[in-house]
Every structure is written in structure tokens, then in C-alpha cells.
Chain A
Amino acid sequence: MTAAIAGIGYTPFSAQAGRSVLDLAAEACQAALDDAGLPATEVDGLGSFMVMHDSVPCQAVATTLGIGELRLSLDLDLGGQAPCHLVSLASAAITAGLADSVLVFRAMKGRSGNRVGAMSFAGGGGQYRYPIGYGAYMMYIGMWAQRFLYETGQGEEDLAAIVLAQREYAAANERAYRRRLITEEEYYQAPYVVEPFRAADCTVEVDGACAVLVTSLDRARALRHPPAVIAAAGYSAGPRSGLDIGDHLLWADYSRNYTHLLAPRLYRAAGLGPADIQMAEIYDCFSSTVMMALEGLGLCGRGESGGFARGGGTRLDGRLPVNTHGGLLCEGYLHGMNTVAEAALQVQGRGGDRQAPRHETCIVTSGALMDGSGMILTADR
């Protein structure tokens, strides 16, 4: 049995929600149900994730929504690797008969509450990172970006092209937190936060929640909107992926992330190749991860993603529109849950002013470094 995404829900994204994470979670989940036209009593599964206990357990959300018996509850202790992973697990659970309809959500006060940028990940790898002053997440991704750009012969002008294209999308997205267009000059005027990242290369942390409803394709067909079919989904953690969530010290090659391991599996399961992919929603806590994924997924040759973006390839009228919501860089850092939601909206043809012209196949990623997940959504054919 194939599964599909049938409903999408959001709260507004803000700097200070002024209410509880549980309230945000329930609102986004209820919005996803209303969007699909499915009553909460029909839901029997929930999935979510949290970093350093910054969110609420599925059980609490189920109780708040008035869901009856919960048959599937997935609380993952993960960050941005989780959204496609959860959709994949929900899809597998539905196929296996463990659940009928599963809400996957992320709720957090990522700006006014616990900010990932300020967290210490005191796991097994922390003892090596923190004593040398190597402690913030953007430093890790910055290190990878430097290596990636060096190895592939690319540079800051390529990061700028990614950022400027996503800003244009955000201008057409009223949900986006950062909607102001910037010029290339403005981009370069901002100082480095961590080399090679300037402010515009970094995601914007927000308070908010986002949810998608996963159900069987048969049921999705009976709901309000056309289904976004989950043609392939999976998770990958490469060998030596570390001792804790931030530990990349044992990873062999900082110029390649999990996407190059995951890509063949996704294409195999979907029966598609990179040439068949019409658009992409790529996890972008920082701009460099878009380039790494475009190359890791075979959508661009190695060392060619920057030129592709500079040539307009990722824009709405380009060969492969990428991050049509403006990405996490602009819409807000819901740890990639909103990347999944945007992909589903686009495949359903509900992208509004930023709708990609060809939207029958969309590849989606979650995660930036050693481990992550991805999926291919297709129109119902």
C-alpha cells in the first residue's frame, strides 16, 4: 500500500509566540486535519522530534487534539535529520497496517525559547569539541562548507547565488519571516558570522509549528486535496557518523554529506532518475547545504551546483526550482518540517505565486551533515 501526504498545517512564524509549545503543536496539527478535511478522531498515529527537550511529546498533542487510541507514537531525539525520516516511518507504518493516519509535526519556540545556535550538545563527542572552542553548530557546518567549496572549486559567489534566489521566493511567500529582497552588494556588505557564512547564509530562528498528515493513498484520494504521493523515502547515517548529534569528527569526507549515500536508494525506490526530478526542497540551515545536496543527489555534477544557481537554474523559471518557500534561510527554522510541507504543497499545485511550473516530481531532504533523510514526492498518476 502506498502512502501520501494529504494535509498541511502551520501556525504563524514569529520571534515570540507568547504561548506554549503544546499550544503551537496542537494548532498546526488541527490545521493540517482541517486542510485535509479529516476529523481528529480518524487519526491514530503521531510523530515528532525534539532537540534537547525543546518540544512536547506526541502523547500530549494527541490528548490535546482529542484523538482516541494512539496506535503509533514516534518521538525522535533528532534535529533537522528527522522530518523526511518521520514521513518515511509513518508511510511504512501505514503500509504495514500499524496505523491508518499519522500526523507528523514539529513545534518549538526556537527563537524565544531554546535556540539551537546556543545549545551545548554534551554527548560523547563534546569532550573533544568544546575544549578547543569549537562549539556552535554553525561552526561545524561552516567547516564542512569551507572544505566542500575548496574541494569542488566553488566559492562565496556561489553561496550568494543560492541566497539571492531563495530571497526572491520568500518575497512571494507571506509565511516567510525574512521577506526583504537583498542585492548582491548587501549580501557581501554583511560581515562573516562564521566563515564562509554571512548573516543571509544562516537560517532564521523562529517560534512556530508545522504539521503534515500522512495517510494511505486510497484514503488521501477521498480527502479535500490531490495527494502528494510518497514514491520513496528513507534515512541514512554514513559510517563513523559520530558519538552525538553534533559530532562529525570521525567523518571521512567533509565535502560530501549523507545525500550521496541516500540518493541511489531514493531513485531506486521511486523508479526515477535525477533527470526526472522537476523540483527540489532542500534542507538549508545554511546556504552551503543546498549546494552539497544538489550535487549529492546528482541533480548537478560535482562542483557545478554554484554555476547552476548563478545561471538561474534554481529559480522559478529555471530547470530545477529549489526551495520555493525561500527555504529555512527565509521562511524560518522549523528544522525542515516546513521544507516537507512546502514540497507537498507544490506537488499538490497549491504553491500560489511561487508555484513551480512543473511539479509532478519533487525531491526533499532533511539534514545537513553525516545523517539525514529524504524523499521523492510525486503527483498521483
Chain B
Amino acid sequence: MLSGVFLTHANELLGSDGEHLLQVARVLDESAVDYLVVADHVLLSAGGHGHDALGGPLPFPLDEPYPDPLITLAAAAAVTSRIRLATGVLIAPLRPAPVLAKMAASVAALSSGRLDLGVGSGWQEEEFTACGVPAAAKAQRLDDCISACKALWHHCPASFSSGTVSFEDVACSPRPPGGDIPVWFGGRAIPATLSRIARLGAGWLPLRLPSVAELRQARADLNRLCEQAGRDPAGLGIRVTLPTVRDASGAADLPGTLLPAAGLAEAGVTGVQINIRDFARSVPELRDTAAALHAFCRESGRP
């Protein structure tokens, strides 16, 4: 299995203004960890309602740093040479599709094709409204946005027409190395998400850790949908975020956190990531955690 480190909210490690980002990126690049992952919110609503799927209030303070993910990954790209740079997830419909296509292609070009674009449809109405995007039909917007990006990455000039994005004979350059960027879709294993992955995706980023039964079902559904879409499902990835397990004293327990993932490779999971905020507050702790994470994932076999 591949290993990932989720950096967002790791304020003690990154520094309150993210001033240690480059050092952290270098350390991860020197480790054997496969993915450096960052998340996205353009804005947070002080209204404070929680995620519609996860429920509850925001699990972090409103004023916590939330740097732009693609700019963060561009900076990381400059000081790394191996590690894959991933968003998990970037709220795609908040940005005009051509702007997202251009930014992502630029990061992909600057990193020699190391970008994995994880995207989601978003959930805060206030964030959409402030960005001038209607919150209605978010899922359709996500679909159109990624289809439009793919058109711009695949063709030059490109033409595209859909309900929410359309253009004709426009060029967007640079195009990503290899002519494409792997796009991963976040969310629950609902038919719309799985269908989107089968049509457009490189993989699935489940919203929360699914059970083995749910994973097996999702794999079976993806296989069927890929067959319908005329593509080979073998390359599709599933990367899960492991909920941090704490001991009775409240301390984060890395072996306990990793344990539920041991059987997941068999169920079709190709990668796991941990919330590094809970395990490392300093570079030495990051080195140790990255080594332990990698050792665990190596034992769990590579896809």
C-alpha cells in the first residue's frame, strides 16, 4: 500500500504562518512516504455549521491557516523531486474551470507530473455565494468543471460544452506532462460519485474510513461502472484517511491508528494517509512517524 501524510492543520509542525513548509516537504521527500496531501477551503463561514456529511461543528478554529493548496504544492514542488503532491480535496467548483485547469497544469509541469488532484464538490453555501458561484447543483458543477479541465489538458485548442461550463477553440498552456493529471474524487460511495470516478477519475478518496464490506461493495460497483465506461478498473486507486486512535490518556497511538488498515489492501485499498498533526509537532517526530508509516505500508504490500 502507498502511504500519505495529510499536512493541513499541522500548525505546530508547519509553523503558524507555514514558515516550515519547505523543510517539512524536504523531510517527507527524503522519507519513503508516497504522498504529501493538503486540503482546501477558500473561506470558512463563521456561521459555524458543520459538514453536512460528517456532522458537528468545524473540527478546527475559524482563523486557522488554510493556505491555497495548489500554491502550497507549487512551493513544495520546488524543493522536492520524488514525493507525489496531492490535494485531498480541493473544492473544484469554487474556481472557474479554466483557472483550475491552468493552475493544476502549471503545478504538474513544475513538478514533472507529480500532481494528484483530489477534488470534491464542497458543502458550505456561504463559501460558494462569496465566490460568486451558485451553490445549487454543486455535483453537476464538479462534473462539468473536471470534464472541462480534461478537455483543456487533452486538446489544444479545446472546445467544450456543458450545463455550467462552455468554451470553443481556446488554448490553455502549459499542458500537463503526459497530457493529463490524475483526478481523484472525494466523498461517500454513492452512485453519482462512483460513476464520476469510473468516467473521469484516477481514484476515490472516501470521506471516512469505510468498513471492509463497504470497500468490497464499492470495488465491485467500480468494476461494473468501468466496464460500462469501457475502461480497465485495475488502475483505480482508493486512498483512505485513517482516523487517529488515541489511548486512554489522550495521546495519539500510531500502531493503533494503522491497525485497522492492515486488512484493507485485500479489500482494494491502495493507499492510506494519516493526520500528521496528531503525530508530529517537530521535524524529528515527523521523520520517525514517516518511517513507521512507510514500514507499515510496505508490509501491507504494494498494489
Residues of A within 8 A of B (CB): 152-154, 260, 263-268, 270-276, 298, 301-304
Contact = CB atoms under 8 A, between A and B. Distances in A.
A342 to B, nearest CB: 23
Contacts of A274: 259-260
Given A275-B212, A302-B248, 20 more contacts: A260-B255, A264-B258, A264-B299, A264-B300, A265-B299, A267-B259, A268-B262, A268-B263, A268-B300, A271-B265, A272-B266, A273-B212, A273-B261, A273-B264, A275-B260, A276-B211, A302-B247, A302-B253, A302-B256, A303-B249
A345 B130 CA distance: 62
B267 A153 contact: no
Given A264-B299, A268-B300, A298 B256 contact: yes
A298 B260 contact: yes
27 contacts: A152-B247, A152-B248, A263-B262, A264-B262, A264-B300, A265-B299, A267-B262, A268-B262, A268-B263, A268-B299, A268-B301, A270-B263, A270-B266, A271-B266, A272-B212, A273-B260, A274-B259, A275-B211, A276-B212, A298-B245, A298-B260, A301-B246, A301-B247, A301-B248, A301-B256, A303-B248, A304-B248
| Listed residue (B246, B248, B256, B296) with the most chain A CB atoms within 10 angstroms of its CB | B248
A48 to B, nearest CB: 30
A260 B246 CA distance: 15
Contacts, number: 75
Interface of A is mostly: helix
Contact of A271 (B246, B253, B263): B263
Interface of B: 211-213, 245-249, 253, 255-256, 258-267, 296, 299-301
B279 to A, nearest CB: 15
Contacts of A265: 262, 299
A273 B267 CA distance: 10
Contacts of A268: 262-263, 265-266, 299-301
A265 B263 CA distance: 8
A216 B267 CA distance: 24
B256 A267 contact: no
B302 to A, nearest CB: 13
B247 A303 contact: yes
A286 B268 CA distance: 39
A268 B211 CA distance: 14
B262 A153 contact: no
Contacts of B253: 301-302
Interface core residue of A265, A266, A301, A304 (most chain B CB under 10 Å): A301
A35 B256 CA distance: 40
Contacts of B258: 264
Contacts of B263: 267-268, 270-273, 276
Contacts of A275: 211-212, 260
B204 to A, nearest CB: 18
Nearest to B265: A268
Contacts of B256: 298, 301-302
Contacts of A301: 245-248, 253, 256
Given A268-B266, A271-B267, A263 B247 contact: no
B92 to A, nearest CB: 31
A319 B267 CA distance: 23
Contacts of B212: 271-273, 275-276
B236 to A, nearest CB: 18
A275 B259 CA distance: 10
A275 B245 CA distance: 13
B296 A264 contact: yes
B2 to A, nearest CB: 15
Nearest to A272: B263
